[in-house]
Chain A
Amino acid sequence: MKRTITRLAGVASVLLMTTQLASAEGNLSLYNWGDYINPELIDAFSKEYSVDVTLDTYSTNEEMLARIQAGASGYDLVWPSVHMHDIMQKLDLLQPAHPNEMKGWENIDKGAMRSHEDPNGDYCLPYAWGAVGILYNKEQIPELTSWKEFFEYGKEHPGKITMLDDLRETLGVGLIMNGASVNSRDPAEVEKAEAYILEQKPNIAAFRYDVIPLVTSGDIAAGHYYVGGVLNVLQNPDLLGFVIPEEGATMYQEDVCLLKTAPNPDNAKLFMEFLMRPENAAKNSERLTNGVVNTAAVDLLPEELKSNPSINPSPEVRAKLQIFEDLGKDLRIYTRAWDRIKAN
Chain B
Amino acid sequence: MAFGKTADSRRRQGLVLLLSPVTLLLGVFFLIPLGIMIVYSFLEPGLYGGVEWNWYPYNYGRIIGWPLNDYETFEPIYLSIFLGSVKIALLTVLVSLLICYPAAFWVSRMSEPRKSFVLFLITLPFFANLLVRIYAWLLLLRPSGFINMALESLGLIAQPLDMLFSSFAVIVGMVYIFTPFMFLPIYANVEKLDFSLVRASQDLGAPPVQTFLRVILPLTVPGIAGGSIIVFIPALGNFIVPAFLGGSKVQMTGNLIERSFLQSRDWPFGAALSLLIMGSVVIIVMFQVIRSTRQNRGAA
Contacts and interface: CB of A to CB of B under 8 A. Distances in A.
Asked if A and B are interacting partners, one says yes
B68 A332 contact: yes
Contacts of B247: 162, 205-208
Interface residues of B, number: 34
Interface string A207-226: 11000001001110000000
B130 to A, nearest CB: 16
Contacts of B75: 340
A343 B255 CA distance: 11
Contacts of A201: 249
Contacts of B145: 219
A69 B261 CA distance: 12
Contact of B49 (A65, A208, A338): A65
A66 interface: yes
Interface in B22-76: 47-50, 68, 71-72, 75
Contacts of A205: 164-165, 247, 249
Interface in B256-286: 256, 259, 261-266
Contact of A208 (B248, B255, B264): B248
A242 to B, nearest CB: 21
A144 interface: no
A159 B162 contact: yes
B77 A343 contact: yes
A166 interface: yes
Chain A contact surface mostly: helix
B251 interface: yes
B226 interface: no
B116 interface: no
A130 B18 CA distance: 59
B81 interface: yes
Contact of B261 (A62, A214, A343): A62
A319 interface: no
B78 interface: yes
Contacts of A37: none
A27 to B, nearest CB: 28
Contact of A331 (B78, B164, B265): B265
A329 interface: yes
A102 to B, nearest CB: 29
Given A332-B68, A333-B71, A339-B78, A204 B249 contact: yes
Nearest to A91: B48
A62 B265 contact: yes
B71 A187 contact: yes
Q: Among B48, B77, B164, B248, which residue has the most Cβ atoms of chain A within 10 A?
A: B48
Contacts of A217: 142, 144
B143 A219 contact: yes
Contacts of B81: 339, 342-343
Contacts of B50: 69
Contacts of A166: 263
Contacts of A206: 164-165, 246-249
A253 to B, nearest CB: 19
A87 interface: yes
Contact of B262 (A66, A90, A214): A66
Which size bracket describes the interface of A in this complex? Answer: 35 or more
A335 B264 contact: yes
Given A69-B50, A217-B142, A343-B80, A336 B165 contact: no
A159 B71 contact: no
B263 A60 contact: yes
Nearest to B68: A332
Contacts of A336: 71-72
Contacts of B165: 159, 205-206
Contacts of B265: 62, 65-66, 331
A165 B264 contact: no
B248 A207 contact: yes
Contact of B249 (A69, A207, A329): A207
Nearest to A328: B47
Nearest to B145: A219
A218 B144 CA distance: 8
A51 interface: no
B231 to A, nearest CB: 25
B66 to A, nearest CB: 13
A66 B49 contact: yes
Contacts of A180: none
A167 interface: yes
Contacts of A208: 247-248
Contacts of A333: 71
Nearest to B251: A342
A63 interface: yes
A92 to B, nearest CB: 11
24 contacts: A62-B49, A62-B264, A63-B262, A66-B262, A69-B49, A90-B48, A159-B165, A167-B259, A187-B71, A204-B249, A205-B247, A206-B248, A208-B248, A217-B142, A219-B145, A219-B164, A329-B47, A331-B265, A335-B264, A335-B266, A336-B71, A342-B81, A342-B248, A343-B78
By Cβ-Cβ distance, the 7 closest A-B pairs, closest first, are: A206-B247, A207-B248, A335-B264, A343-B77, A206-B165, A219-B142, A165-B248
